[in-house]
Structure 1
Amino acid sequence: MEESALKEILHALELHSTRMEQKLEQLEGQFSEFEARLERLERKIDSSTSILPKQRKMLIYF
């Protein structure tokens, strides 16, 4: 292979590597956002299940 062809291949690989790193950072950011949303949902579920027993007691009295 010619040297220019090898340089072109190397350049293409460097561009691909850069794009993959950017995509990885983007996915990590999305994953962090997803984790935060999941934690908020878990807290909502935990708080709603702690209210339910009190509501059941109220229903029994009425």
Structure 2
Amino acid sequence: MRITVEADKCCGAGQCVLAAPEVFDQRDEDGTVVVLDEAPPEETHPAVREAAQLCPAAAIALSS
């Protein structure tokens, strides 16, 4: 799995961080998503998929 984000679409809701805190964080200055691991281990994939689905701005894209 590969994660990409469109930071300009991010609204800073933080749902990704709540769903997968080992993979996502937010910038302190504006709350924009930060990807901590662009190719996370397989055991985190369910949480990462949930994070992408929960994103209200659809700023997170997943690929194989």
Question: So what's the TM-score if we normalise by structure 2?
Answer: 0.23
**In terms of Rg, which structure is larger?**
1
Bigger helix share:
1
As a proportion of its length, which structure holds more strand?
2
